[in-house]
Amino acid sequence: MERIKMKDLPPERRPYEKCRQLGAAALSDAELLAVIIRTGSRLENSLKLAERILGQGGPQDGREGLASLLHRSLEDWMKLDGIGLVKGLQLCCIGELSRRIWRRKSQEIRPSFRQPEEIADYYMEEMRHLEQEEVRVMFFDTKQILIRDVLLSKGTVNASLISPREVLIQALRHGAVTMILVHNHPSGDPTPSKEDAALTKRLSQAGSVVGIPLIDHIIIGDLQYLSFREKDLL
């Protein structure tokens, strides 16, 4: 099949010209991505390549379209025809920028949390796509407004590798009054493991000693969550 060059498309279908005339908001997801990656491959132009990139995954795993940019590694991208090291790095960086923008905006808002489902909603879209487990601790003031959240570990949850002392030092440094653990299960099933229960118990005991109680541990699954507090496990 003959490769259709970008210059052969009508001006209104060329992503650069469309962006210049109408603004970035007028572009489709594929057109936005085509502008960023700039060039296509030997067999397809940048728009066709962008459409193929966004076609990876599927709705069954929640990783189609733009969501695919959040969880694929450099090695994953380079397995696709037409994507080498440079384009693979570009795609990884787009995903990371998206996470950081979302996180920065979330921190600026300083939300208040009253119910476990509010915390689950806050983290769901970010954490349900992760390929490995991450454990975070949220620090709150007297009005249950989030002061800061801190990444404690990345990888398999291991209670012995997370130091309650370091967590409490962070809590005191930020003036926290209460704290909540949050972590994800890449399997999508939020049922707590023995390791999850052990970590919860250790941090809860340590927090009680210094007067900064652990008031919940929320496990994020795929569009579902489990709250230790709601299940009377804490």
pLDDT in tens, 195-205: 899 999 999 99
How many whole angstroms separate alpha carbon 207 and alpha carbon 213? 5
Residues of the chain with CATH 3.40.140.10: 111-227
Instruction: Please name the helix (run of DSSP H) or strand (run of DSSP E) that holds residue 52, with its range, or none.
Output: helix 46-54
* Token duo for residue 119: 């915390």
**DSSP result, 116-152:** HHHHHHHHHHHHTT-SS-EEEEEEE-TT-BEEEEEEE
Of the candidates 154, 216, 220, the residue with the CA atom closest to the CA atom of residue 188: 220
What is residue 218's three-state secondary structure?
strand
Out of 12-26, 153-167, 215-229, least confident range: 153-167
Listing from the earlier edge strand, what are the strands of the sheet with 214-220? 146-154, 134-140, 178-184, 214-220, 225-227
59: pLDDT strictly greater than 60: no
Query: What's the token pair of residue 117?
Result: 């489902």
* For residues 38-46, average pLDDT: 85
Q: Return the bridge partners of 153, or none.
A: 135
pLDDT reported for residue 1? 47
pLDDT for residue 14 is more than 90: no
- Say whether 109 sits in a helix, a strand or coil: helix
Task: Determine phi and psi for 91, rounding to 5 degrees.
Answer: -65, -40
pLDDT of amino acid 159? 63
pLDDT greater than 70 at residue 160 = no
- Is the pLDDT assigned to residue 133 strictly greater than 70? yes
pLDDT tens for each residue of 69-78: 877 888 989 9
Cα 96 to Cα 219: distance, rounded to the nearest angstrom: 23
DSSP 72: -
* pLDDT the model gives residue 217: 96
The residues facing 220 across adjacent strands are 184, 225
Q: How far apart are CA 176 and CA 1, in angstroms?
A: 62
Instruction: Kindly report the CATH number that applies to the domain delimited by 111-227.
Output: 3.40.140.10
Phi, then psi, of 226 in degrees rounded to 5? -135, 135
82: left (phi over 0), alpha (psi -120 to 50) or beta: left
Average pLDDT over residues 64-87: 84
What pLDDT, on the 0 to 100 scale, is given for residue 39?
86
Q: Give, to the nearest 10 degrees, the angle between helix 116-127 and helix 85-109.
A: 160
List the beta strands (DSSP E) in 17-165: 134-140, 146-154
Q: Which of 29-43, 67-81, 120-134, 206-220 has the highest mean pLDDT?
A: 206-220
CA distance 141 to 120: 19
Residue 58 has pLDDT above 70, yes or no: no
User: Does the pTM exceed 0.85?
Assistant: no
* Spatial contact of 181 and 210, defined as CB atoms under 8 Å apart: no
Average pLDDT over residues 130-143: 90
